[in-house]
């Protein structure tokens, strides 16, 4: 079975402060991890995936297999980062994507 846990339903951060959205997963094989984001009145969209190892909109996420985590980080929050963030997992050889319950990030001006 594959499971994704996002422990924080709500997170508020001041503009300019660092952001970390937590994601832990449970999967016995080799997973692919993703972060999806939904801005107000927009569709859910891919933010980044761990195999790309790239920074998108200043966000990065590192897969830590030892801690089974894939936390999303940004050093300096911006107001436009306010959104709903979902962590997702896909098992090897399986196209089904399992999502966490999401974290609503609010950036305080």
Partner 1 sequence: GAGVSQSPSNKVTEKGKDVELRCDPISGHTALYWYRQSLGQGLEFLIYFQGNSAPDKSGLPSDRFSAERTGGSVSTLTIQRTQQEDSAVYLCASSPAGAGELFFGEGSRLTVL
Residues of this chain that interact with partner 1 (CB under 8 A) are 6, 9, 32, 34, 36, 43-46, 49, 86, 88, 90, 95-102
For the chain, give the number of residues.
109
Q: Is 96 or 109 the residue whose CB approaches partner 1 more closely?
A: 96
Residues 24-51: b if buried by 16+ CB within 10 A, e if exposed: bbebeeebbbbbbbbeeeeeeeebbbbe
Calculate the CA 40 to chain-centre distance.
Answer: 17
**Shortest reach from residue 25's CB to partner 1, in Å:** 14
Q: Is 80 or 95 the residue whose CB approaches partner 1 more closely?
A: 95
In degrees, to the nearest 5, what angle opens at C-alpha 67 toward C-alphas 45 and 34?
A: 10
Among candidates 79, 73, 7, 13, which has minimal Cα distance to 40? 79
**Shortest reach from residue 82's CB to partner 1, in Å:** 18
**Shortest reach from residue 58's CB to partner 1, in Å:** 20
Q: Is 6 or 82 the residue whose CB approaches partner 1 more closely?
A: 6
Q: Is 68 or 91 the residue whose CB approaches partner 1 more closely?
A: 91
**Shortest reach from residue 65's CB to partner 1, in Å:** 18
């Amino acid at each position: 079975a594959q499971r994704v846990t996002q422990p924080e339903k709500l997170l508020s951060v001041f503009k300019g402060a660092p952001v970390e959205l937590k994601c832990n997963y449970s999967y016995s094989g080799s997973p692919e991890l993703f972060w999806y984001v939904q801005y107000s009145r927009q569709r859910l969209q891919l933010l980044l995936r761990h195999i790309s190892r790239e920074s998108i909109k200043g966000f990065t996420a590192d897969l830590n297999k030892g801690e089974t985590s894939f936390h999303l980080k940004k050093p300096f929050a911006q107001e436009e980062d306010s959104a709903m963030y979902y962590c997702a997992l896909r098992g090897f050889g399986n196209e089904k994507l399992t999502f966490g319950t999401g974290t609503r990030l609010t950036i305080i001006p």
